[in-house]
Amino acid sequence: MQLSCWLLKLSSCMQALLHASVELRKKLIVDWIPACDLEDSSAKENPDAYKAAWKLLKGADGILVPGGFGDRGVQGKILAAKYARENKIPYLGICLGMQIAVIEYARSVLGLRDANSTEFDVNCKNPCVIFMPEGSKTHMGGTMRLGSRRTHFQVKDCKSAKLYGNKSFIDERHRHRYEVNPDMIATFENAGLSFTGKDETGQRMEIVELPNHPYYIGAQFHPEFKSRPGKPSAFFLGLIAASCRQLDTLIGNVPVKVANGVAMKKGCQNGKTKKPAKFLSGAVYGYCNGVHDEGNYCSWL
């Protein structure tokens, strides 16, 4: 069955959500939203699906846009990121989900209507996301930035550094070809978007954050790959905490352990409530028109 097939592929993100929810004693409810159902074209072609998708999105306490390849559902994911940003709904974008957030910001805030990724528009005049291969372009496999790479935090006073226990750097796993265009960073930062994590050269953007938002984080790497039971990934923990309005408590209390050897602050447990609080999450994915889209899900390294 196709359904169980892609759910299986998405399971590293699901696992990471679960690890974080268990850690914070929250009951996790995940609604999968097909990204293209959110698009304007679906309002005409499939109004029921359009209504259902927006109802789910608007009911979510937090939104996760996982990684993926290919352009199916990209516009829907951009709409989800816009909704999260404008309505102050906690948002975590991974890989393409980070790039989506950057493109959305360029279009809505910088006013660059044609902003895009060169993955979807090779002749784009405002390319916010570009092909940045590592190593040789001519060797098969040499074009993908794959495996563990180091991220250096650029500022101390940001949610992502605090979630990783104020470390100066972290190592997380990568699997991508496209990255945020380094030539546009100054423009973005002048307009309020903050690139709080970069590689050692400062040319590759690893983490993006919106400081004046309850939780709006994008990661070029895949934090879900290192999430384990009892050692949840910092950004998933942050997403769940922010979605139950407990992020401040989480980043300012008693330390607990999370993945990546990070000392974390524990805040959501007060010892009294054994009954799990309800947490509603919306995950937007790129599964459209009943066609299984290779790559539009979180996959394993």
Task: Give the footprint of ligand NAG on this chain (CB under 6 A).
Answer: 74-75, 78, 116, 120-121, 156-157, 162, 165-166, 252, 255, 263, 265
Task: Give Cβ neighbours of residue 130 (< 8 Å, ≥ 6 apart).
Answer: 117, 118, 178, 179, 181
Token output for 18: 């679960």
Min dist CB 166 to ligand NAG, Å, is: 4
- Decide if 276 contacts 240 (C-beta within 8 A): no
List the catalytic residue out of 39, 128, 222, 268.
Answer: 222
**Burial group, residue 214, by CB count within 10 angstroms (0-12, 13-18, 19+):** middle
Min dist CB 113 to ligand NAG, Å, is: 10
Pick between residue 61 and residue 104 the one whose CB is nearest to ligand NAG. Answer: 104
- Decide if 175 contacts 134 (C-beta within 8 A): no
- Decide if 256 contacts 12 (C-beta within 8 A): no
36 as an active site residue: the answer is no
174 as an active site residue: the answer is no
Pick between residue 30 and residue 163 the one whose CB is nearest to ligand NAG. Answer: 163
Pick between residue 149 and residue 176 the one whose CB is nearest to ligand NAG. Answer: 176
Min dist CB 39 to ligand NAG, Å, is: 8
294 as an active site residue: the answer is no
Pick between residue 133 and residue 255 the one whose CB is nearest to ligand NAG. Answer: 255
Min dist CB 124 to ligand NAG, Å, is: 7
| b/e burial code for range 277-286 (CB count within 10 A of at least 16 → b) | eebbbbbbbb
Alpha-carbon distance 219 to 215, whole Å? 13
Q: Which residues are catalytic?
A: 95, 222, 224
